[in-house]
Amino acid sequence: MPSYGALGDLLVPEHTVLLTVECQQGVVGPTAALPELARTVRESGALANVARLVAGAHASGVQVLHAVAERRPDGRGSNRNARLFHAAERLPVRQLPGTDAVRVAPPIDVAAEDLVVRRLHGLSPIQGTDVDALLRNLGCRTLVVAGVSANVAIPNAVFDAVNRGYTAVVPADAIAGVPSEYTPAMVRHTLALVATVATTNEVLACFERADGGVRPG
């Protein structure tokens, strides 16, 4: 794990954004489309840690951006070029725009100053969405990535962030995938090669030591 000093140098509030990935009711809620993933993210404490990170970001002036996956009822514009997309079409819970399934799940608090970006296609919360432009306009240099899943969207987000010149920080106890033992392997053998891996407590300690205040517009 990084030292507090080194991590603190990365997590300067005015240049840091916290990105939550697919922490929506239809993915991590009690009636989610993928019950095993929803159960894992809750039982592991990852969802609670995402909520703690969001609260800490709000308190210290770190911008929060929530990335949500959606799908039109007719599927128009969505991918059909992988097994995952065909499986999603058959799930009992669909991530339809305007429904509870695409609302950020408790206990995560969405503040008025948070940004919410919704995507209708692809596997990444960054590629092909407004996220990159928003990050640049916010002056982001360090992107903290939390949420689900460690199988697909989280590694996509980390690689896309690094490819675009951002420094990625991954709180390893604030992400989850299935099976549960896959997540630490993904972190150790893949994400740790391209991102700074930390814990939720380490990130929050850096947030708490920051001056905080309101971000400049």
How do residues 61-77 score in pLDDT, each as one tens digit?
999 999 998 887 776 76
Q: Is 118 in a helix, a strand, or coil?
A: strand
CA distance 144 to 187: 14
Could you give the C-alpha distances from 212 to 58, 97, 130, 176, 201, in angstroms and in order?
A: 9, 34, 26, 29, 17
Q: Taking 80 as the threshold, does the pLDDT of residue 130 lie above it? A: yes
Q: Is 26 in a helix, a strand, or coil?
A: helix
What mean pLDDT is predicted for residues 194-208? 96
Q: Give the chain's domains with CATH numbers.
A: 4-209 (3.40.50.850)
CA contacts within 13 A on the Cβ side of 58 = 14
Taking residue 14's Cβ as centre, other Cβ atoms within 10 Å add up to 16
Residue with the larger pLDDT of the pair 12 and 120: 12
Question: Which two tokens mark 30?
Answer: 């009690």
What mean pLDDT is predicted for residues 89-107? 80
User: What pLDDT shows up at residue 212?
Assistant: 47
Are β-strands 63-69 and 16-21 bridged in parallel, bridged antiparallel, or unpaired? parallel
Looking only at Cα atoms, what is the longest distance across the chain?
50
* Reported pTM: 0.89
